[in-house]
Structure 1
Amino acid sequence: MAIKRAGIVGGGVIGAGWAARMVLNGIDVQVFDPDPEIARKLDTVIAHARRAYGKLFPGLALREGTVTIAATAEAAVAGVDFVQESLPEREDLKRRVLAAIDAVLPPHVVIGSSTSGLLPTSLQADMAHPERLVVGHPFNPVYLLPLVEICGGEKTGAAAKETAAAFYSAIGMHPLHVRKEIDGFIADRLLEALWREALWLVNDGVATTEEIDDAVRYGAGLRWSFMGTFLIYRLAGGEAGMRHFLAQFGPALKLPWTKLEAPELTDALVDAVAGQSDDQAKGVSIRELEALRDDCLVSVLAGLRSEDYGAGAVVKRHHQALMAATAPVSKAQAADGLLVLHEVTVPADWIDYNGHMTEYRYLQVFGDATDALLRHIGLDQAYLAAKGSYYTVETHIMHRGETKMGEGLHVATQILSVDAKRLHLFHRIVRSRDDFCVASAEQMLLHVEAASGRAGAAGAQVLDRLTTICAAHQGLPKPAGTGRAVGAPR
Structure 2
Amino acid sequence: MSKIMKAAIIGGGVIGGGWAARFLLNGWDVVVSDPDPEVERKVGEVLANARRSLPALSDVTVPKEGKLSYAASIADAVAGADWIQESAPERLDIKHIIFAEIQKHCSDQALIGSSTSGFKPSELQQGAARPEQIFVAHPFNPVYLLPVIELVGVQETAERAKQVLEDIGMKPLIVRKEIDAHIADRFLEAVWREALWLIKDGIATTQEIDDVIRYGFGMRWAQMGLFETYRIAGGEAGMRHFIAQFGPCLSWPWTKLMDVPELTEELTNMIADQSDAQSGMHSIRELERIRDDNLVAMMRALKGRNWGAGELLNAQDARIKPPLPEDTDQPFMTLERVIPVDWMDYNGHMNESRYGQVFSDAGDVVMQMVGADEGYIAGGLSYFTVSNEIGYLNETHLGDVIHVRTQVLEARGKKLRMYHEMIRTSDGDLLATCNQLLIHVSLETRRACEPEGEVLAKITALGEAQSKLAKPASMRD
| TM-score with structure 2 setting the length | 0.87
Amino acid at match of 2:113: G
Q: For residue 351 of structure 2, what is the aligned residue in structure 1?
A: 358
Q: Secondary structure at the match of 1:60?
A: coil
Q: Which consecutive residues of structure 2, in runs of 5 or more, have no partner in the other structure?
A: none
Deviation at 1:270, TM superposition (A): 0.8
CA distances 1:1-20 after superposition (whole Å, capped 9, x unpaired): 97711111111111111111
Mapping of 1:223-238 within 5 angstroms? Answer: 223-238=220-235
Q: Which consecutive residues of structure 1, in runs of 5 or more, have no partner in the other structure?
A: 483-489
Q: Measure the CA separation in 2 of the matches of 1:179 and 1:113.
A: 17
The 8 Å contact of residues 58 and 337 in structure 2, kept in 1 or not, is answered as no
The 8 Å contact of residues 297 and 342 in structure 2, kept in 1 or not, is answered as no
Amino acid at match of 2:410: S
Deviation at 1:58, TM superposition (A): 3.6
Q: For residue 414 of structure 1, what is the aligned residue in structure 2?
A: 407
Q: Does 1:440 align with 2:434?
A: yes
Q: Measure the CA separation in 2 of the matches of 1:49 and 1:212.
A: 28
Of 263, 286, 289, the match for 1:288? 286
CA distances 1:182-221 after superposition (whole Å, capped 9, x unpaired): 0001110011000110011111111000000001111100
Q: Measure the CA separation in 2 of the matches of 1:22 and 1:5.
A: 9
Q: Which range is displaced more, 108-117 or 399-408?
A: 399-408
Q: Measure the CA separation in 2 of the matches of 1:306 and 1:167.
A: 26
Q: Does 1:218 align with 2:215?
A: yes
Q: For residue 268 of structure 2, what is the aligned residue in structure 1?
A: 270
Mapping of 1:18-417 within 5 angstroms? Answer: 18-152=19-153, 156=154, 158-260=155-257, 261-324=259-322, 337-342=330-335, 352-354=345-347, 357-371=350-364, 373=366, 377=369, 392-399=384-391, 401-403=393-395, 405=397, 410-417=403-410
Q: Does 1:424 align with 2:417?
A: yes
Q: Measure the CA separation in 1 of the matches of 2:43 and 2:452.
A: 46
Amino acid at match of 1:184: A
Q: 1:409 to 1:12 in 2, by over 3 A?
A: closer
Amino acid at match of 2:253: P
Deviation at 1:124, TM superposition (A): 0.6
Q: Which range is displaced more, 391-400 or 76-85?
A: 391-400
Amino acid at match of 1:20: A
Q: Which range is displaced more, 429-438 or 32-41?
A: 429-438
Q: 1:40 to 1:233 in 2, by over 3 A?
A: same
Deviation at 1:33, TM superposition (A): 1.1
Q: Measure the CA separation in 2 of the matches of 1:355 and 1:240.
A: 49
Q: Measure the CA separation in 1 of the matches of 2:141 and 2:302.
A: 19
CA distances 1:305-334 after superposition (whole Å, capped 9, x unpaired): 122222221111011112147x88xx9899
Amino acid at match of 2:53: A
Amino acid at match of 1:306: G
Identity rate of aligned residues, in percent? Answer: 45
Q: Secondary structure at the match of 2:468?
A: coil
Q: 1:88 to 1:276 in 2, by over 3 A?
A: same
| TM-score with structure 1 setting the length | 0.85
The 8 Å contact of residues 422 and 446 in structure 1, kept in 2 or not, is answered as yes
Q: Measure the CA separation in 1 of the matches of 2:401 and 2:240.
A: 58
Amino acid at match of 2:210: D
The 8 Å contact of residues 388 and 447 in structure 1, kept in 2 or not, is answered as no
Count, aligned residues? 465
The 8 Å contact of residues 31 and 69 in structure 1, kept in 2 or not, is answered as yes
Q: Which has the higher contact order (CA 8 A, sep 6+)?
A: 2
Q: Measure the CA separation in 1 of the matches of 2:435 and 2:385.
A: 13
